[in-house]
Structure 1
């Protein structure tokens, strides 16, 4: 009885740990955001919504996308005094205060500069160093500033110093030189932490200080020296709490201020140094320590969960050392981690539970790619995976059980890739798999009985690739096969009645023999999804009708690949295809459909709001919504409003890509969808919307693509940051404007969306999705209002957004004053001109009379002059006629040149045609070359040893072989000689990779076969020497400058007794690892630092051999340098030390498991980085 009680208690603890363990998932601010330094000493989110990060190299303002960095400029006193920032604080006026290692600053009125409040250091005379450690505001709106070395300052909100407490001003037996922390409690007392593990309480009513010393004599940290208080917080249940360096945390009782040493919490700390604390919305306590993030629930005196870094979990902390914590207004927990920047945990609005494979843990899925899901009558789950067989999950016990194939065992599952699991009305479990047939599970013996295709029988399973298993309302089992149509299975006679496509019947037959799924509707009709369309089977008449995709009919089946079919509560049929979603209203299904009719189906695609056209699964929930899985996440479809709501990996999904036909609805209403990285399960009631309405701000303003900065100079466009600016005035030629804006929602901020409008120019809002920039060109002079609004990640709008009044001044010639001045000038000019013309007219009459007489006498003289001019004009006319003839000749010459140019143009066109023909020929030859390389790959794979070559020699083995290119420069070789029973294994890395490396590998393999198998050489030294000579002869390296060669390890194994073996090892610039079971350690064996091949040395190459004795169960590993040299996304190599550590950690598992772990770890390390070299790792157990 006691054992039973203990077991129940243990199970309850395990279940509670599992639930809590899923509570927080961490993300990381990416390097691309531009954080200036990865040591985040303080974090603060201001009232606007910007996140401020204090680092050792600058102050960072983060908007959810990128950082704006503020740094010291030596010649500019309006910048920070130092780049080493300790603390950030915002006062009640929303002004930012910043403490560095040299001064206290208050942000300037322009929002970009900083006022230095200590005009000079109080220690400039003796160079005494001090730094700002903490900043708070009390209820009287005084700013308290603690320093290390300069005491305690008090300022008013305007930045004027009120008081300075220092060692010369002693209060009792203590001084204020070194302040480590400040805090105001709910009674408005000021708590002051000192560097000697003491604290002071200032009572504002009595204006008195009370100093206290902390004793650690009765705690587990009593021997810790150099401890001091690092921070204070206050909780409803524990009062004021102090965290310490090297001494855990302490609490002070609210009435007496007696110390509560919180032994229960301190006992659970992984490290006694607590750098920072935070209290969340639910009043739980979070501790950032030097070894993990610790969670203490409200009203609990124990650590309930510790979050730590895990290289195999991308959602864990980046490092175990947590320097700073902050819990913001969006309930996001921000963590500054040592040397890795900022991690953060978002509130879980969308509680997607994830089932996945956890490397190095057997109590999880056996493979991440989930292809089918089934809940049995006991409400436990069954998962069919690609490459991991079947996983059974007992929910009550939180235990996973795996069913996998075993070579040669017919009572085991017959395939690793499972497409369908089904429990029939007799509670029998059926499994359909890829080329594994139909299998029936015996739950007691955990064995399978498998039905496969018999080509000599018409009553056997028509095809071994089983994609779906279904039982209709008459308890009749139906089997969907990929290539063999469908089959009706009689459980008692164990025979199959097969239905296949009959081409002569057209639509009145199965749409395709490649069948994916079967569904029965409320009428008893079977709906069959295939790779050739959808079919309906009418059991009463034993007939079919089929429908296909038609490019000419927009409302036909969206695609011929049908992945899912469901009937909703309104008897409407929904069909998910590879090209979209189809709907068939119940009104079309009153009677049997004889043929396809126009408008019979309605189609939804990406143009109608789908996130992706590949519809992999459909489930109707209890509220009449459809949940749709696709290759781009999950979508919730409101059938009445025809609105899609999308969910992606950012919302907690296993990934964005889901698998066709992998979906399930449990008895209690939980929905489960399978994907490439596991399966997501959820109750629709748990999928909530982020209600936060983000503030929207302009973050940058540019003219002619040049960013404008605030300036106090005259005529400056901005006098303060664009964030705080409400209006700007521009000149008429400053009319190419660019605005950058942001909605300050930090939860999955990449999914925030925006709309903007220029009032006075735009008629409608511009909805630009996630784009955060607006550009306007050539705006006319006038008044405008630029308006921008944004949503959070779930589409919740802040309709108020942000407005900016813009005035574009007209040019001076379009101003009212200039036009008035022009009118006056014109009027005066007209009047003055009139008077002048009257006077001039009278004077002109007088002069005219005198002139007429003079002109009469001059006419005669002029007549003579005209005769002379006439003669000159005639002469000029003759000259012009001569010039005309010359121009005609020139025109003829130009025409000849034009004909010549036309001929040249035709020659050039002919050359272009010849070049195009040459290009086509080159493309064809390039294809031939590529085909040749692919054929070379086939040849290379054909000559590599088969698995059977190893299985006949070794008890267990694995080969991890990943070529970089189509063909590989790495190869592995094995040979067993019957005459003496010796076995030879080699791992070889040839010079280069791709085609050159592959050529070398074929030469090397041929030489090894000749030396060992034909010539009978057994000595590894002789083998290497002959291989060296063979390579040199094959590549004529004595006659050329060719230096190609290879590095390799070769072993010779000989069995000396039933349980003992001798192993001889030689190598050329390569290594071997040996593990001696059961409790040995991985031993690294190095060989000779000489390569095979290359230029001949003056001194003959001397290879050596090493001998080892192995017993049954011992292991050895051979590898090339490709695995350890593989880089991650930051170009950091995996490294030999890490590789050896992984071997050490995984050697306790089977070689099959170790192989999978090495693959997983390499995949996690590599990420999206390109593969650098060919990779070969082999493990053998004797």
Structure 2
């Protein structure tokens, strides 16, 4: 059965091939990127006579319906109602003072300066009628052409006729880079004026094509371009020659010139479109290439490199993004969707559409296959062009093999895994592999072998196949990336953990790094130099995850085709830093094809990159691609109060005529709701301008990037504020310095400095007055109180003296009573012969005497509450020395007692302790020794803590006697008295006796 199928197709193969391509159907020309504005978008009139870009980068348009100013988004129109002398505007010019001059076709000249118009007509020296062209010389004088001669401005603001020229109808004029004045006339050719010497150049004495001159311009190299009603002439090195145009089948009426940033000269042809000359060859652009009309009246190039085109009756157009050229109009093929794209060995581009059409590109023209072997409506998914006349075509109805010898069709009946075939690729062994909706198939020696997936018995959808530089096949499946092993598809283990599904495209760069695109999953990079593969999504820099096609070009860029745009990724940056540095191309910056079809990107030997899109075929020209590095021109349009426009002049402010904004703006505290209306002029793509702003004094942080052109601040407190504004252009370049505007909000009268000063003076005066009154009252009260205090003090002193006298009397009487006791003890001792009893009575007498000494000291001194311990201890010792018949010559007394005073109770207690310890020393320490030392020392150990030491260098205490447990009354008394002082006593028997009392005195 297969043999019969081949037989029916092999015989007519060569005839069919020749028939398909020998009758190519012509297609329309290439499409370029044009934007258009007409009356619907705000133009006052559709005939554009002249275009001017001013110093603020705004466009000014001369129309027959008035003057229009365009900022890239909106038009503002000026007519006679705003002060023009006529709505018929013929020409425009901006002088060195930045004033705009407007030449009308019927009512003289108009000067525009800061929204004010000044009219120049016959009263100012100009002839009746209009002005056709305006220039300025190096001295600042204006020169204008009229139907009655050439005029120049004088220092008195009047215009004077230049009489060196004859009275003709003059159309245009220009100064050459060398300072010569060139003037074109309507019927008498060209005039050159140098040092007031006039030379007339016509068809009779030069190569001038015709004597009717329409426009004069010069390029960056100094070449003078002269446009006439019948062609172009150029002047180089003072030599005029006719510039031959390539299209001789029409009469070229040249209306204007412009010179772009690429070194091209553009020639406006009134009825035949635009002619671009790059120094070597010409390119003609007409309605077939995207122009709205072939009637071009004027041209200009803006500072960003865009070409602006004024038409006769079709409004304004902009030519931008020349790096993209499109093939969208396929003649009889309506709404062409290029679903297959391939390149032959000779660099020829082949394409197929989703409704079965196929074509190849020859000399910039698509030639369509007239006779197709597949049924109508078949979707072509992929092509593999093996040679000039041999190819495989993958469709939704199987695979077609076309060669000069045969045309063969393979489908499921032939052994193919599925009729839906997405892509095909050869391997190093000469086999052809097919990615189908039901797995992968290998075609070898006329037979198909279908590959199963190892981990799943059910077939999987295979979207793409890629044969890398090592002849290794990679398969992109609906559930990941696979490779062939033992006639089965096995997943690539390195990539499994990403869980990337619907792998639609695979690519490889010159270093062998592999790239895998997952639709709605992102981009996976497998680089052996990295520790592990990396996934790029929107979260880490990939602008779009809807990947349908991947391709690495010759300059090491990865092209990522998505459903909404195309992305160019710089691979050197990606592999070096692990980050994404990309340029996104959308319809706004030239990529009008929008959605890129699956695996439809290729690059031809001439360096052009081709894309199959939902609208047709798009070509990218790398050498023309330039980033727009011109920053947006920032303008602060207005300042609104409470979101309402404000007439600042009516509020008494001095307004800057250039900006329309008030100078030295000082708002009241109630005018604290401020809105800034701003705009950044970016003519390449105004919709993609982004802004950041902040109000210093209110918020030091910049806002997030936004496309909003209003910034509102409410409830501002009094103070000084500065509004700062930054803008980003369509290619991501931010203005280096912000636009600033400083204003202030004046505090209310009760918060102003002078008011606060006056208020402080009043408050201060009031306080001083109150203080003085209070001071007088206090003085009187203080005097009265002092008198009362003095009286009470005298009373208290008298009572105190009385108490002191009473206390002294009491101490005196106590002392006397104690002396009586001592005397009685002495009398009694005379009648006692028992030595032990005498010793007891002597001890009691010494104890009583120590107390009597204390009271004696108290009534002899003024301070009745405290006693001096050193003097007290000395008197006690003297009494004991006398009682025991001891003198200081025998036992030297050393007192080391600091000058401290204690209360009576503590003094009595310490005196009794010293009395006992000294008595023991005098009785026992020096019985066998004639001389000795008795030392009493008082030391401060801490806060209110003291140590009292009574020591001698006598014979010491006999061994075996424990003083702490002694039954002696004296020692028991000492121990008891120590506890009264919250202390403890310790005894030491080393080189004599040493008794140390540690105690605490009450604070």
TM-score (norm. length: structure 2): 0.66
Task: Determine the C-alpha separation between the residues in 2 that align with 1:497 and 1:705.
Answer: 74
Aligned equivalent of 2:311: 337
Answer yes or no: is 1:613 the counterpart of 2:506: no
Shift of 1:608: 3.4
- Change beyond 3 A, Cα 1:566–1:199: closer
Q: Determine if contact 2:30/2:326 at 8 Å carries over to the other structure.
A: no
Q: Which of 298, 309, 324 is 1:352 aligned to?
A: 324
Cα deviations by residue, 1:782-811 (Å, 9 ceiling, x for unpaired): 222222222332222321242222323323
Shift of 1:130: 1.8
- Change beyond 3 A, Cα 1:85–1:603: same
The correspondence of residues 650-1049 of structure 1 with structure 2, limited to 5 A, is 650-665=588-603, 671-682=609-620, 687-708=625-646, 712-713=649-650, 715-716=652-653, 718-722=655-659, 728-830=665-767
Q: Determine if contact 1:460/1:496 at 8 Å carries over to the other structure.
A: yes
Answer yes or no: is 1:45 the counterpart of 2:53: yes
The correspondence of residues 38-77 of structure 1 with structure 2, limited to 5 A, is 38-73=46-81
- Change beyond 3 A, Cα 1:700–1:103: farther
Aligned equivalent of 1:514: 461
Task: Determine the C-alpha separation between the residues in 2 that align with 1:201 and 1:625.
Answer: 53
Cα deviations by residue, 1:450-499 (Å, 9 ceiling, x for unpaired): 11222xxxx712321211222334433322222x3222222x2x322223
Aligned equivalent of 1:1040: none
Task: Determine the C-alpha separation between the residues in 2 that align with 1:220 and 1:645.
Answer: 47
Q: Determine if contact 2:171/2:214 at 8 Å carries over to the other structure.
A: yes
Q: Which of 81, 84, 91 is 1:87 aligned to?
A: 91
Q: Determine if contact 1:510/1:546 at 8 Å carries over to the other structure.
A: no
Aligned equivalent of 2:518: 577
Task: Determine the C-alpha separation between the residues in 2 that align with 1:481 and 1:299.
Answer: 50
Shift of 1:337: 0.3
Q: Determine if contact 2:401/2:409 at 8 Å carries over to the other structure.
A: yes
- Change beyond 3 A, Cα 1:372–1:255: closer
Shift of 1:220: 11
Cα deviations by residue, 1:1026-1073 (Å, 9 ceiling, x for unpaired): xxxxxxxxxxxxxxxxxxxxxxxxxxxxxxxxxxxxxxxxxxxxxxxx
- Change beyond 3 A, Cα 1:761–1:24: same
Cα deviations by residue, 1:312-355 (Å, 9 ceiling, x for unpaired): x5x2x22222222223333332221011111222363xx23444
- Change beyond 3 A, Cα 1:576–1:73: same
- Change beyond 3 A, Cα 1:43–1:238: same
Please give the secondary structure, in 1, of the residue aligned with 2:81.
Answer: coil
Please give the secondary structure, in 1, of the residue aligned with 2:735.
Answer: strand
- Change beyond 3 A, Cα 1:66–1:296: closer
Q: Determine if contact 2:359/2:366 at 8 Å carries over to the other structure.
A: no
Shift of 1:830: 4.4
Answer yes or no: is 1:642 the counterpart of 2:614: no
Aligned equivalent of 1:1115: none
Shift of 1:587: 6.2
Aligned equivalent of 2:16: none
Aligned equivalent of 1:536: 482
Task: Determine the C-alpha separation between the residues in 2 that align with 1:564 and 1:655.
Answer: 19
Cα deviations by residue, 1:71-129 (Å, 9 ceiling, x for unpaired): 3337xxxx333333222211123222223343433333xx2223335595779xxxx95
Aligned equivalent of 1:469: 424
Task: Determine the C-alpha separation between the residues in 1 that align with 2:130 and 2:91.
Answer: 10
Task: Determine the C-alpha separation between the residues in 2 that align with 1:574 and 1:217.
Answer: 68
- Change beyond 3 A, Cα 1:663–1:333: closer
Please give the secondary structure, in 2, of the residue aligned with 1:132.
Answer: coil
Aligned equivalent of 1:1133: none
Task: Determine the C-alpha separation between the residues in 1 that align with 2:481 and 2:650.
Answer: 77
Answer yes or no: is 1:418 the counterpart of 2:380: yes
The correspondence of residues 1096-1111 of structure 1 with structure 2, limited to 5 A, is none
Task: Determine the C-alpha separation between the residues in 2 that align with 1:672 and 1:253.
Answer: 40
Shift of 1:620: 2.8
Shift of 1:45: 0.9
- Change beyond 3 A, Cα 1:426–1:307: closer
Aligned equivalent of 1:374: 342
The correspondence of residues 266-281 of structure 1 with structure 2, limited to 5 A, is 268=248, 270-271=250-251, 273-280=253-260
Shift of 1:449: 0.5
Answer yes or no: is 1:289 the counterpart of 2:263: no
- Change beyond 3 A, Cα 1:753–1:398: same
Task: Determine the C-alpha separation between the residues in 2 that align with 1:294 and 1:681.
Answer: 21
Please give the secondary structure, in 2, of the residue aligned with 1:750.
Answer: helix
Cα deviations by residue, 1:961-987 (Å, 9 ceiling, x for unpaired): xxxxxxxxxxxxxxxxxxxxxxxxxxx
Shift of 1:146: 3.4
Please give the secondary structure, in 2, of the residue aligned with 1:479.
Answer: strand
Task: Determine the C-alpha separation between the residues in 2 that align with 1:357 and 1:787.
Answer: 48
Aligned equivalent of 2:172: 181
Task: Determine the C-alpha separation between the residues in 1 that align with 2:357 and 2:73.
Answer: 42
Shift of 1:685: 6.2
Answer yes or no: is 1:449 the counterpart of 2:408: yes
Task: Determine the C-alpha separation between the residues in 2 that align with 1:618 and 1:89.
Answer: 49
Task: Determine the C-alpha separation between the residues in 2 that align with 1:399 and 1:510.
Answer: 45
Q: Which of 293, 302, 309 is 2:287 aligned to?
A: 309
Q: Determine if contact 1:462/1:487 at 8 Å carries over to the other structure.
A: yes
TM-score (norm. length: structure 1): 0.56
Task: Determine the C-alpha separation between the residues in 1 that align with 2:344 and 2:649.
Answer: 74
Task: Determine the C-alpha separation between the residues in 1 that align with 2:344 and 2:730.
Answer: 37
Q: Determine if contact 1:754/1:768 at 8 Å carries over to the other structure.
A: yes
Q: Which of 501, 504, 508 is 1:563 aligned to?
A: 504
Cα deviations by residue, 1:817-848 (Å, 9 ceiling, x for unpaired): 1211221232344456778999999xxxxxxx
Shift of 1:721: 4.3
Q: Determine if contact 2:653/2:662 at 8 Å carries over to the other structure.
A: no
Q: Determine if contact 1:672/1:680 at 8 Å carries over to the other structure.
A: yes
- The answer to which structure, 1 or 2, has the higher relative contact order (CA under 8 A, 6+ apart) is 2
- Change beyond 3 A, Cα 1:539–1:241: closer
Number of equivalent positions: 747
Please give the secondary structure, in 2, of the residue aligned with 1:326.
Answer: strand
Q: Determine if contact 1:628/1:635 at 8 Å carries over to the other structure.
A: yes
- Change beyond 3 A, Cα 1:238–1:695: closer
Aligned equivalent of 2:132: 133
Q: Determine if contact 1:518/1:528 at 8 Å carries over to the other structure.
A: yes
Aligned equivalent of 1:161: 157
Task: Determine the C-alpha separation between the residues in 1 that align with 2:243 and 2:488.
Answer: 76
Q: Which of 207, 214, 217 is 1:233 aligned to?
A: 217
Q: Determine if contact 1:242/1:249 at 8 Å carries over to the other structure.
A: yes
Q: Determine if contact 1:563/1:615 at 8 Å carries over to the other structure.
A: yes
Task: Determine the C-alpha separation between the residues in 2 that align with 1:404 and 1:679.
Answer: 21
Q: Determine if contact 2:344/2:386 at 8 Å carries over to the other structure.
A: no
Answer yes or no: is 1:96 the counterpart of 2:103: no
- Change beyond 3 A, Cα 1:780–1:399: same
Cα deviations by residue, 1:827-884 (Å, 9 ceiling, x for unpaired): 344456778999999xxxxxxxxxxxxxxxxxxxxxxxxxxxxxxxxxxxxxxxxxxx
Tell which structure's C-alpha radius of gyration is larger.
2
Task: Determine the C-alpha separation between the residues in 1 that align with 2:714 and 2:122.
Answer: 46
Q: Determine if contact 2:639/2:661 at 8 Å carries over to the other structure.
A: no
Answer yes or no: is 1:323 the counterpart of 2:306: no
Shift of 1:43: 0.7
Task: Determine the C-alpha separation between the residues in 2 that align with 1:684 and 1:193.
Answer: 40
Segments of structure 1 that go 5 or more residues without pairing to the other structure are 1-16, 407-411, 591-599, 842-1182
